[in-house]
Every structure is written in structure tokens, then in C-alpha cells.
Amino acid sequence: MPETGNTDITVGEAALRAPKKQERVPGLALGLALLSAGPVVILVLLIVVLSFLSPYFLTGRNLGNILAQTAVISVVAMGQHLVILTRGIDLSVGSNVALSSVVGALSFHAGAPAFVVIAVMVGCGAAVGAINGLFYVFGRLPHPFIITLATLSIAKGLALQLADGRAIPGMPDSIDALGREAVWGLPGSVFVVAGVAAVLFVMAKTMVWGRWIYAVGGRPDAAVRMGIPVSWVLVSVYVISGLCAGIGSVILAGRTDAGSPLFGNLLELDTIAAVIIGGASFLGGRGHLGHALIGAIMIGVIRNALNLLNVNVFFQLVVIGVVIVIAVESDVLRNYLEGRVRVMQAGRQS
């Protein structure tokens, strides 16, 4: 009889606990959904609030300026996004933009036509990316931080050496038009961003390569056991990151009609911030290309708003840093909630 009594109490306690678990899971799932939609919600709220704070914010001219100013960050952030999906990081993108612009300016002054100049700039960016990927993978380096930090310094030094430490004015008219002229009321660079985004989106969604990236970032050991060519997947994302830096250099050179070794200063931080603000995880295997673009636009909106509100330019760095901390903490909270949901769902099934 005592044993039966204990059993009844145990069953009763389990019955009381079960509804609580069932109630908690939807609540946690709602929290996860809000965190996942966070970048879009925050951007919308920013736009609404800023439209009241400044009468100039929602003007067509100002919105065009935001899109033009964030074009380089957007393009390069898409490449950085792929790298972070595989648990990596590319610190060389800013210096890569500078070197690619200088090489492009030198080729223009050597008499190369516009399409060759563009090919040289994009090819230079891809070459730096390939060096990063090959040394990281086949040099068996413990983390890409090491090689990309090295190429950051090497590319910047080469750019300064080739340009003699100063900007080299002059770019083909077609590149200048890309960076300065508007098409259908939108900056020409916006269409470059849209084109790069469309190509990468199709590659990620329709090619097996796209699934491999998430697999390599999410479970590297499992990816190896499944026969996925992990090494070449990693090399490919660094090549694409470098290629995006080369495209970014074309946009920036078009806006300034020059190549400069000073281009891309702190661009690596801006692109990493855009990806993390967009909801990607440093733990790899999670993130959406569109959210990386939203993160880049959010950085541009914040900077533009601070300028309109006459906030000290140095304080912008503080604001962006705070936003990054909030984004990273949101990622930590999301990981925690996902773990709790999995545990509770397993408990309900058992």
C-alpha cells in the first residue's frame, strides 16, 4: 500500500507538471519568433521614430543617400555573411577594398578599358580571398582570424606602396556612372547590390553548395562524415568574400572617381556588425542573407540619423558598438531559448 501511495503521488505530480510544460513551450516559441524577426522589427521602428525626430529623414533625397552610402557595406557584408555561416571571420575585407581600388586605378592609367579595369578590381579581391581560404584550410591554421589579420596588413601595405600613400584620381566613365548616377530615381549602386544578392540567394537556395555551407557551419564533424568536401566549401566562401570586396571597391571608386589605399577603413567591423545585427551566429550554421542586408541598412540608417540630429561623429562609433553588444546578447538569448524548447519538447514526447 505505501508503494501504491507513492506511485499515485508521483503520477499526480507529473500530471501537474505536464500542463506547465505545455504552457511554457508556446511562450518560448513566441520569444524565439520575436528574436528571429528582430532585425526587421527594429529597422521598422527606427524608421518610424526617426521620421518624427527629423523632417528630412523620409525625403527621397535622404533615402537615396542612405542606400548609396550603405551599398559598399551591403555587398561586402554578403560575403562576410557566408564566412560567418561557416564559423569563420574575414578581417581583410577593408584592406582588400583599398588594394583592389588602387590596382584598378593603376590599370586605368595604364590604358586599360573599363571592362578590364572592373575585371582587375574584382579579380584582385577574389585573389586575396583565395589566399585567405587556401592558407586557412591547407595551412591547417587553428582559426581564420590569423590569416585574415595577416592579409589585412599585407593588402594595406601593398596598397600604400603601390599608390605612394595617396589617392590615385581617375576612373572610367562607366565606373563613375555606377557610383554616382541614378537609375529610375535610385542610385546605380543599389542595382549592383540587388544583383549580387540575387546571385548569392539563388546559389544558396538552389545549389547543394548552399546546404553544404550550413552543414559545415552547423556540424563540421557530421559534415565530414557525410562526405561533404569541407575544405573546398571553406575555400569557396573566402573566395566569394574577397570577390564581394572587389565589387565593393568598384562601387566606392565610382563614387569618388579614384582608387585610394585609405579606402575600407574599419569596413571589416561594419560588415561583421551588419551580419551579427542581422541575426547570424558566430557559432555558425545560422543566418539569412536578407537579414545581413537589413543589418547593413540599419547601420546606415543609424549613422544618417545621428548626422541629421547633429550628434558628434565620434559618438557614432559608440552607438554602433552598443548595437553590436545588443545583437550578440540577443544571439545568446536565442541559443538559450532554443535549448529550453528542445528540452521541453523532448519531455512532452516522453
Q: Which residue has the higher pLDDT, 112 or 180?
A: 112
Average pLDDT over residues 119-136: 97
Please name the amino acid found at residue 129. G
Average pLDDT over residues 164-180: 91
Q: Which three cell numbers stand for residue 224?
A: 565530414
Percent of the chain with pLDDT over 90: 52
Tell me the sheet residues that pair with 62: none
pLDDT averaged over every residue in the chain? 85
Which ranges of the chain does DSSP label H, i.e. alpha helix? 2-36, 38-53, 60-85, 93-109, 114-138, 144-163, 173-180, 188-206, 208-218, 220-225, 230-256, 267-277, 289-308, 315-349
Split at pLDDT 50, 70, 90, the class of 341 is low
| Residue matched to cell numbers 518560448 | 28
Say if residue 31's pLDDT is above 80.
no
For 279-325, the pLDDT digits (tens) are 787 878 778 888 899 999 989 998 898 888 888 878 878 887 887 78
For 157-170, the pLDDT digits (tens) are 999 999 999 999 99
- Length, in residues, of the chain: 350
Which of the listed ranges 3-12, 50-59, 341-350 does the model predict with the highest average pLDDT? Answer: 50-59
* CB-neighbour burial class of residue 107 (10 A; exposed 0-12, middle 13-18, buried 19+): buried
pTM over 0.95: no
For 18-29, the pLDDT digits (tens) are 444 444 556 655
Average pLDDT over residues 98-120: 96
* pLDDT number for residue 138: 94
Say if residue 113's pLDDT is above 60.
yes
Say if residue 47's pLDDT is above 70.
yes
Q: Which three cell numbers stand for residue 65?
A: 543617400
Q: Which residues of 252-281 are buried (b: 16+ CB within 10 A; e: fewer)?
A: bbbbbbbbbbebbeebbbbbbbbbbbbbbb
Percent of the chain with pLDDT over 70: 84
Split at pLDDT 50, 70, 90, the class of 121 is very high
Distance (Å, rounded) from C-alpha 147 to C-alpha 43?
Answer: 34
Say if residue 131's pLDDT is above 90.
yes
Say if residue 61's pLDDT is above 50.
yes
Say if residue 1's pLDDT is above 50.
no
For 221-267, the pLDDT digits (tens) are 899 999 999 999 999 999 999 999 999 999 999 999 999 999 999 89
For 73-89, the pLDDT digits (tens) are 999 999 999 999 999 99
Could you tell me which residues come within 8 angstroms of residue 70 by beta carbon, excluding any fewer than 6 positions away?
296, 297, 299, 300
Integer CA distances (angstroms), 64 to 12, 68, 188, 309, in order: 64, 6, 10, 18
Could you tell me which residues come within 8 angstroms of residue 273 by beta carbon, excluding any fewer than 6 positions away?
295, 299, 320, 323, 324, 327
Could you tell me which residues come within 8 angstroms of residue 321 by beta carbon, excluding any fewer than 6 positions away?
none
* pLDDT number for residue 183: 83
Element (H, E) at 168: strand 168-169
Average pLDDT over residues 141-161: 95
Average pLDDT over residues 207-228: 91
Split at pLDDT 50, 70, 90, the class of 350 is low
* pLDDT number for residue 44: 84
Tell me the sheet residues that pair with 178: none
Split at pLDDT 50, 70, 90, the class of 14 is very low
* pLDDT number for residue 38: 66
